Structure 1
């Protein structure tokens, strides 16, 4: 790696773009992100190096703007359909050529982000990504749909709880749910437990009402 290399690294599991500034000791590098903050990182933290040209920290914002139009997960599904039969390993370089018919640095990085963030169509294998089988993709899609359904049911259940609060305690829609509500809901993972929650909760309502009602003068 040399000064001016644009890299992606992980900090507390979050993705960051930065430009390499100088070596630090035998193994580490000083890098600068787009906010001008310096980080000392180990090569193990680097998840991608953008090849093709050198950059300055001031270039990072423009670079990211060039990347964003290509971050369409639907494009990854098209690539998977083309590659799944042959089971061909794909890399950011080959994916950029397949999807965008070019290998400019922003396109290479966009291909990397698509593959790295994907949990459905490809799985990492060595330095590349292997297309999942049609059966695996169908099962993952089913799991995703079920999770979305559970989330929707959970939101409906929260709305039911809030309506109960509004009727019995006169709380506004913007009032956060009281702590006892969250504690009880943690025991009831779906809306189907709502009857049990509300019946248990009825004994707590007077106490909660004291917490949320203005004192009488």
Structure 2
């Protein structure tokens, strides 16, 4: 599989997929924790995973073609806005942190930074499945201390622990994930040190800025 950075303008011209229209989710339906400008992504309007950037990392720029075929599930890479790093699955970490997600890679280098996005129409949520270990990402609500609510790719099936609401900000071209388990938004822990530096945790009550914001890149076949 060759990763391809999807240009937003090219995607909209070549594909039936499009970014959510402004106002896709009525203002009255937006939770109080969701700031203005952020819209819940509906399955019927689930956008192609794309983000235009002038500073493309080499692995993501391999090839200029755009696939017009929507894959089920959609394959993507996740980049933290806070530190500009790609999210990786730490599958070699010892227990209990095996499979922890961290925004620590300078570029997409392979399956460690790859995820499959699966939409569930019944719940209106998405699940992320790591390509590194073929496990679904769960929120570790029962962990304690600095690891509480950390994201780990460790589940073989999807339940409340593995489901997220997906939000999109059209003007910013950024995305946010809200855990259905605890109602909190996924945050990149930029100020952590040690093995959990840059770990992803579902711990923010609102989308306050770059800590909770991500860019999504499609991986072409």
Q: TM-score range by the shorter chain?
A: under 0.3
Q: TM-score, normalization: structure 2?
A: 0.24
Asked which structure has the greater RCO (Cα within 8 Å, sep 6+), the reply is 2
Q: Which has the higher helix share?
A: 1
Q: As a proportion of its length, which structure holds more strand?
A: 2
Structure with larger Rg: 1
**Length-normalised TM-score, structure 1:** 0.24
